[in-house]
Structure 1
Amino acid sequence: MKRLAIIGECMIELSGSPFGAMQQTYGGDSLNTAVYLARTAGKSVNIDYVSALGTDAISEGMLNRWQAEGVNTRYVLKDVTRQPGLYLIQLDTQGERTFLYWRNQSAARYLLQHNEFPLVADHLSEVDMVYVSGISLAILPAADRQQLVDLLQTLASKGVEIAFDSNYRPALWQDAQEARDCYQQILTYTDLALVTDDDEATLWGDTSSQQIMLRLQKSGVKQVVLKMGEIGCLYTDFNSETPELIKTTPVTNVIDTTSAGDSFNAGFLAGYLTDKSPRESALQGHQLAAIVIQHKGAIIPTSATESIDYNATNNSNKETTQ
């Protein structure tokens, strides 16, 4: 069984209309991936979520629900002085969303300053892979962010695989150059980059998939999954393989795209960590994301994902690109 540690933040999620009806749940890019990975991989992958929460009732409720999903929470640290952050999702008629956040004093933001974090850092050297996102990094104070970047480099030097989802959110960074400098450090030792064409264009100014792939190859990344929305994804192993376009079937009934990329990452990682081919892994990601975006909220009901056939393949979707 492979062991994966996912570092990040989960917040209280409110979804609805301002001063109207609101639904309360929870979400966060890394936690979304952890939950959907647990649902997809089952007991085939050991998943540790690494974060911090408070000691309040909502924090306890979150922990109980994550454990029920099959996510291990022994490395979710408890901060007696802080609580989870909060965000509000507003949806338009096409299912696209806008967000409002209250997270500057969240417990997860100060994860690395927790007196028990050194014990967590020691544990990370024992896992097979550590997964971190751009948001996981962006929320941290600058000194803590650099500490985490250095820790990841140390883990990589010890043979731990590093998976990085760039997930660029401009509002969380001082400016684009700060994000680029941070990302560039991580990309030099990233084994698997899970990136999105829109984010790459916004942050780096790339104008084509070829330009994105060339830049990432020069950065030192070993493998890349470039997510391209309804087109599908482009997978490349820079050591051996020709880029492969793995198409998805467009969804006509899009309700909420909140966890589209997070759930794709989960499906892909579930395949990757259980030795499925990149193509099979990507198809899992496509299948899962297609279901998720037809429901409201970051974490959809378990019943909605139980019927997915993760062994399905579609050879007609295979294309190569030079």
Structure 2
Amino acid sequence: MPDIAILGECMLEMAPTGQSNCFQQNFAGDVYSVAVYMARHSNSKVRVRLLTAVGEDAISLQFREALREERIDSTHVLTHPSRHMGLYMVKNEADGERHFTYWRGESAAKDFFKITDSYEINPPDYFFISGISLAIYDEPSLFNLKSWLKYLKDRGTTIVFDPNYRPALWSSTAATLEVYAWAFSLCDIALPGIEDMVQLYGTETPDEVFGLLKNYDIGTTIIKNGAQPIWYATSEETGQVAVTPCPNVVDTTAAGDSFNAAFLAARLSGDSLTASIEAGSALASKVIQHRGAILPRQHP
């Protein structure tokens, strides 16, 4: 059975219910969304391992229970003795576009590399990181992460990187560009969204993104572009896949994350590249028709 390790920060999400001043509590964060949807859509064909840190409080215990229910391996979910999970609130515009307010200063996940003497795991087949994963760590932690991922890649792990750029998490654009250059040079699969690439690099079209990333030895690049076709490039071919139409956009939270998850679940299960892209598009279309990052488990 192929396995994937997913590293980053999981958070408590407070999302509007549609009623005035009413919010619903959920667990979320980009890597949590990827882990949940991968576990659900791989049909137990992929082992999903989450690497993060939480606290000892009641919410953190609920989070661990949620991982168990979603069949996500929590062996490497560490317990911080004094910190807890971060929190964010979502506000949606009429067209479904979302805005976030964060409380993550004491997030336990930021100290993942500080509360363990050994974070070396058996090299997974795949390892997923995002721009948010990279942004939350201080310099010593980021140094350890870089060394660790090189160690894993040298032993055959396929590195997957979604830039998922959040300017507020970075000290400067220059700092972001330096870390992203390293991530692109290391990764085997890149999953950028046009919006992130426009903000950071000014690349407004798939061709411009491909032109930028050709400087790196990336085996597969998938470019997400909202309702526009999804572009892909490998060493053998370049093409595009139409996205699944969405008749009613309610909340675009986790659109990219759910695409990543279903795409990777299909790919790791042996599906073709285009079929995997179609799977990612189909799930993202469902997710953005509902509020919050995670669909109810009973949802088809």
What amino acid is the match of 1:286?
A: S
| Structure 1 counterpart of 2:225 | 228
Instruction: Indicate conservation of the 8 Å contact 1:8/1:50, yes or no.
Output: yes
From 147, 172, 195, give the equivalent of 2:144. Answer: 147
Query: What is the distance in 2 between the residues matched to 1:66 and 1:45?
Result: 15
Query: What is the distance in 2 between the residues matched to 1:249 and 1:276?
Result: 18
Query: What is the distance in 2 between the residues matched to 1:87 and 1:158?
Result: 37
| Structure 2 counterpart of 1:275 | 270
What amino acid is the match of 2:48?
A: I
Query: What is the distance in 1 between the residues matched to 2:53 and 2:194?
Result: 31
Instruction: Provide the secondary structure at the position in 1 that maps to 2:145.
Output: helix
Query: What is the distance in 2 between the residues matched to 1:263 and 1:289?
Result: 5
In the superposition, the TM-score normalised over structure 2's length comes to 0.96
Asked if 1:22 corresponds to 2:18, the answer is no
| Structure 2 counterpart of 1:12 | 12
From 248, 261, 265, give the equivalent of 2:260. Answer: 265
Instruction: Indicate conservation of the 8 Å contact 1:232/1:286, yes or no.
Output: no
Query: What is the distance in 2 between the residues matched to 1:217 and 1:223?
Result: 11
1:48-77 Cα offsets, whole Å, 9 max, x none, are 000000011100101101111111111100
Offset of residue 126 of structure 1? 2.3
Structure with higher RCO (Cα < 8 A, 6+ apart): 2
What amino acid is the match of 2:8?
A: G
What amino acid is the match of 2:279?
A: Q
Query: What is the distance in 1 between the residues matched to 2:15 and 2:258?
Result: 19
What amino acid is the match of 2:143?
A: Q
| Structure 1 counterpart of 2:281 | 286
Query: What is the distance in 2 between the residues matched to 1:223 and 1:65?
Result: 32
CA RMSD of aligned residues (A): 1.5
Unaligned segments of structure 2, at least 5 residues:
none
Instruction: Provide the secondary structure at the position in 1 that maps to 2:240.
Output: strand
In the superposition, the TM-score normalised over structure 1's length comes to 0.90
Query: What is the distance in 2 between the residues matched to 1:146 and 1:221?
Result: 22
Instruction: Indicate conservation of the 8 Å contact 1:134/1:168, yes or no.
Output: yes
Instruction: Indicate conservation of the 8 Å contact 2:244/2:278, yes or no.
Output: no
Query: What is the distance in 1 between the residues matched to 2:204 and 2:292?
Result: 31
Asked if 1:167 corresponds to 2:153, the answer is no
| Structure 2 counterpart of 1:38 | 39
Matches within 5 A, 1:1-322: 1-16=1-16, 20-116=21-117, 118=118, 120=119, 122-123=120-121, 125-237=122-234, 239-241=235-237, 243-304=238-299, 306=300
Instruction: Indicate conservation of the 8 Å contact 1:231/1:250, yes or no.
Output: no
Query: What is the distance in 2 between the residues matched to 1:132 and 1:176?
Result: 19
What amino acid is the match of 1:84?
A: M
Instruction: Indicate conservation of the 8 Å contact 1:14/1:88, yes or no.
Output: yes
Offset of residue 20 of structure 1? 2.0
Unaligned segments of structure 1, at least 5 residues:
307-322
Instruction: Provide the secondary structure at the position in 1 that maps to 2:261.
Output: helix
Stretch of structure 1 that moved more, 99-108 or 19-28: 19-28
Instruction: Indicate conservation of the 8 Å contact 1:153/1:186, yes or no.
Output: no
Offset of residue 143 of structure 1? 2.3
Instruction: Indicate conservation of the 8 Å contact 2:153/2:159, yes or no.
Output: yes
What amino acid is the match of 1:207?
A: E
Offset of residue 18 of structure 1? 12
Query: What is the distance in 2 between the residues matched to 1:14 and 1:103?
Result: 13
Query: What is the distance in 2 between the residues matched to 1:19 and 1:173?
Result: 33
Deviating above 3 A after TM superposition, structure 1's stretches of 4 or more consecutive aligned residues are none
Instruction: Provide the secondary structure at the position in 2 that maps to 1:44.
Output: coil
What amino acid is the match of 1:34?
A: A
Instruction: Provide the secondary structure at the position in 2 that maps to 1:147.
Output: helix
Query: What is the distance in 2 between the residues matched to 1:277 and 1:165?
Result: 20
| Structure 2 counterpart of 1:318 | none
Offset of residue 150 of structure 1? 2.5
Offset of residue 19 of structure 1? 9.0
Alignment: residue pair count: 299
Instruction: Indicate conservation of the 8 Å contact 1:42/1:70, yes or no.
Output: no
What amino acid is the match of 1:62?
A: F
Query: What is the distance in 2 between the residues matched to 1:215 and 1:202?
Result: 14
Instruction: Provide the secondary structure at the position in 2 that maps to 1:203.
Output: helix
Instruction: Provide the secondary structure at the position in 2 that maps to 1:298.
Output: coil
